[in-house]
Structure 1
Amino acid sequence: MHSTTILFDLNTGITEEPSCLQEEPLRDPGADDAETGLFVEPKSPQFNIDSNDDDVDEVPINTIHIEPPTHMYEANYNGDFRKEKKGLLVMAALRLGSLPPATLAATTATKKCERFNGGVKVVGDGGGDNGFPPFLPKEVEKIKDPFARNLARRIKRLPVQIGCSESYIMSSCVQPLVQTDPSPVVLLHCFDSSCLEWRRAYPLLEESGLEAWALDVLGWGFSDLGSLPPCNVASKRCHLYQLWKSYIKRPMVLVGPSLGAAVAIDFAVNYPEAVEKLVLINPSVYAEGTGNLAKLPKVVAYVGVSLLKTFPLRLYANLLAFDGIPLSKSVDWTNVGRLHCHMPWWKDATVNFMASGGYNVVSQIKQVKQKTLIICGENDKIVSNQLAMRLLFELPNARMQRVPDSGHLTHVDKPRRVAKLISDFARAK
């Protein structure tokens, strides 16, 4: 069993240095020839999914607040990486699961609900300053990345029932503008992250005509967990099922990057009727949970979690993911990646997940019945390509697609390629 751990991921192996994200310069809002409105000109090169150019797409900025605002998505470049074990304290900080649920959507929704016709509806209260939902941490104002800022304005919380109780969790997601696809694509995220990861690929999926949902797994992102629920694997699975049952309601193409692949496998095995196909991106599925970290004294666990939140550690993770980017950009992306850590219940939720034992899906892999596409970044430094090959042979019905010049966050540094792969796979018979 591969046991090496890297910064910010529970199931990891070591391979080559990830490739650098090369972002094209953005045009200022309102500049000559800059597109405005919800969609850009169909022939715009940044949305040419059929292009052979795998460079990161330039997405025009629209600062006019419409409903919903321009669909831009920021990746959490930091929430998915883990450092090698260097002492108990560092391990406690690095291998901890995290739990700040994310909240994203076109229309801001408060956690207030109204009953109608025996159901529940979200009551929106408009956006806060600069169009940001008021439930986001105030640190969102410090983020400079226009992609992240635009995505933050498209945040929604939906009420998701907890089991058979009358209680609801206001759960964050990016909801599709139109819900008509017989096989919607549902995007999960990496460890200690949020659906902000998908800010580059999500617009491309929408442009391709897919119905795409970007969800925050319970215990990560920006959801409202003021009354902290259990954040163990069973609770995450149940929460995802209740959200699917309430809003999606059709067999889905479930996409999981890194540890999100373990989330997807666990869900597909337990609720096969809800999953038509799987897409696993640089899957991290061979660690046996959080291991000895689950046995740490609570005081030590909280110290470790505090370390996990620190800016230097997150900056290191960002530099590990993308080599050669300007320091100023790394600093900004680090602020994006740790935004959810400012949620007031983040430490408690993270310790709760760690103590629960985390994900161990090794025994479930051969039980997966769905067709599966594995997307593998050739320069992934976080999960060994050998583990991806092992998964390919152990899954009953899987195929693999390698992406050159891509690291661990392939859906971030090669969004056009990933969107094309997902779109083709979702539509294939």
Structure 2
Amino acid sequence: MNTALKLGSLPVMGINMTKNYGSLKASTKVKVFAVDGAGDAEFPSFLPKEVEKIKDPFARSLSKRMKRLPVQIGMSESCIMSSCVKPLRQSNKTSPVVLLHCFDSSCLEWRCTYPLLEEAGLEAWAVDVLGWGFSDLETRPPCDVASKRHHLYQLWKSYIKRPMILVGPSLGASVAIDFTVHYPEAVEKLVLINPSVYAEGTGNLAKLPELVAYAGVSFLKSLPLRFYANMVAFNGIPFFTILDWTCVGRLHCLLPWWKDATVSFMLSGGYNVISQIKQVKHKTLIICGQHDQIVSYQHVVVSS
């Protein structure tokens, strides 16, 4: 389990990775697992048609496992059809492991880790945070922090129903902390991976005129920007593999409500959990890289 969580969303494809993440040097070939259903099963109809062009077998397999579950979000009977990958079997023998994702991402981020968790016998849920991923947001619900928190709680209350091990990478760590402080009974333990928890929300971006915010979000969606981000993140990976991973990472951006949901989050101020960190009483495992260029390793060590 620890190995799987350390790898996070790094593609498990038996490729030599040359990045050195502190004590974790990803230069060893990793066991390749058979990917069930990558060939015969069909993709869910709610996914953008571009999913059919993706080559990554892990992304294809997890995409075909994806479901939408109705999650009630208000006093009315209205529901959001919420995307996630649910376990094949639920059992009271182990605590459910619920996988959040990074900023502007989706549950496909866990495409390589998810099979490892299942092979370890864990009840794993990979869920899409409200406003990102592949949920049906045709009604354009608010996607601020409070809405994201409430949506996750309602999903947990309706389907998971037991204290969970909540896993949050990067901004997902802020999502996890905020949720845990407000709903401590729903969480057994926390796992925070390269946690981004000291940002003061979206900062000045929250003050942008709406027209400018939409222009910025359009740039965030662009293929060149996301391709460059992947090029910086990985060394020694073939061009077309990076391009394929980029297409996986921006697949959710192709849904018609993605811009509206992202602007809603940006203008709301985003996550600022600095004051909440010391309120967390749950046992917490922090996994981070000493040479992370985004989240300061020393900051995490000193604070913890």
Query: TM-score w.r.t. structure 2 length?
Result: 0.89
Matched residue type, 1:380: D
| Residue in structure 2 matched with residue 295 of structure 1 by the alignment | 207
1:306-333 Cα shifts (integer Å, max 9, x gaps): 1001110000111121122111111111
RMSD: 1.9
- Matched residues in 1 for 2:289 and 2:141: separation? 35
Give 5+ residue unaligned stretches, structure 2. 1-9, 16-26
Residues 21 and 276 (structure 1), Cα distance of their counterparts in 2 relative to 1, 3 Å cut: closer
1:219-267 Cα shifts (integer Å, max 9, x gaps): 1100000001100000000000000000011111100000000000000
- Matched residues in 1 for 2:188 and 2:294: separation? 28
1:350 maps onto 2:262 in alignment: yes
Q: Conserved in 1, the CA contact under 8 Å of 2:140 and 2:257?
A: yes
Q: Which range moved further: 230-239 or 323-332?
A: 323-332
| Residue in structure 1 matched with residue 50 of structure 2 by the alignment | 139
Identical residues among aligned pairs (%): 72
Q: Conserved in 1, the CA contact under 8 Å of 2:217 and 2:262?
A: yes
1:324 to 236, 239, 247: 236
**Secondary structure in 2 matching 1:377:** coil
Matched residue type, 1:24: G
- Matched residues in 1 for 2:77 and 2:28: separation? 47
Give 5+ residue unaligned stretches, structure 1. 1-19, 26-52, 70-130, 393-429
1:382 maps onto 2:294 in alignment: yes
Matched residue type, 1:149: R
Matched residue type, 2:109: E
| Residue in structure 2 matched with residue 60 of structure 1 by the alignment | 34
| Residue in structure 1 matched with residue 218 of structure 2 by the alignment | 306
- Matched residues in 1 for 2:138 and 2:100: separation? 22
Q: Conserved in 2, the CA contact under 8 Å of 1:21 and 1:325?
A: no
2:60 to 142, 149, 163: 149
Q: Conserved in 1, the CA contact under 8 Å of 2:145 and 2:270?
A: yes
Q: Conserved in 2, the CA contact under 8 Å of 1:163 and 1:238?
A: no
Q: Conserved in 1, the CA contact under 8 Å of 2:165 and 2:190?
A: yes
1:265-288 Cα shifts (integer Å, max 9, x gaps): 000000000001000000000000
Q: Conserved in 2, the CA contact under 8 Å of 1:184 and 1:251?
A: yes
1:186 to 98, 119, 139: 98
- Matched residues in 2 for 1:176 and 1:22: separation? 20
Provide the aligned length of Structure 1 versus Structure 2: 284
| Residue in structure 2 matched with residue 221 of structure 1 by the alignment | 133
Residues 61 and 251 (structure 1), Cα distance of their counterparts in 2 relative to 1, 3 Å cut: closer
Q: Conserved in 1, the CA contact under 8 Å of 2:69 and 2:82?
A: yes
**Secondary structure in 1 matching 2:70:** strand
Matched residue type, 1:138: K
Residues 186 and 63 (structure 1), Cα distance of their counterparts in 2 relative to 1, 3 Å cut: closer
| Residue in structure 2 matched with residue 171 of structure 1 by the alignment | 82
- Matched residues in 2 for 1:372 and 1:294: separation? 31
- Matched residues in 2 for 1:64 and 1:293: separation? 40
1:251 to 163, 166, 170: 163
- Matched residues in 1 for 2:200 and 2:147: separation? 18
Residues 54 and 376 (structure 1), Cα distance of their counterparts in 2 relative to 1, 3 Å cut: farther
- Matched residues in 2 for 1:204 and 1:64: separation? 16
Question: How much has 1:59 moved relative to structure 2?
Answer: 2.2
Residues 253 and 22 (structure 1), Cα distance of their counterparts in 2 relative to 1, 3 Å cut: closer
| Residue in structure 2 matched with residue 262 of structure 1 by the alignment | 174
Question: How much has 1:24 moved relative to structure 2?
Answer: 2.1
- Which structure exhibits the higher relative contact order, with contacts defined as CA atoms closer than 8 Å and separated by 6 or more residues? 1
1:235 maps onto 2:147 in alignment: yes
- Matched residues in 2 for 1:277 and 1:64: separation? 32
Greater helix proportion:
2
Question: How much has 1:65 moved relative to structure 2?
Answer: 6.3
- Matched residues in 2 for 1:64 and 1:351: separation? 34
Matched residue type, 1:57: K
Question: How much has 1:157 moved relative to structure 2?
Answer: 0.3
Q: Which has the larger radius of gyration?
A: 1
Residues 54 and 184 (structure 1), Cα distance of their counterparts in 2 relative to 1, 3 Å cut: farther
| Residue in structure 2 matched with residue 201 of structure 1 by the alignment | 113
Question: How much has 1:202 moved relative to structure 2?
Answer: 1.0
Question: How much has 1:142 moved relative to structure 2?
Answer: 1.4
Residues 387 and 55 (structure 1), Cα distance of their counterparts in 2 relative to 1, 3 Å cut: farther
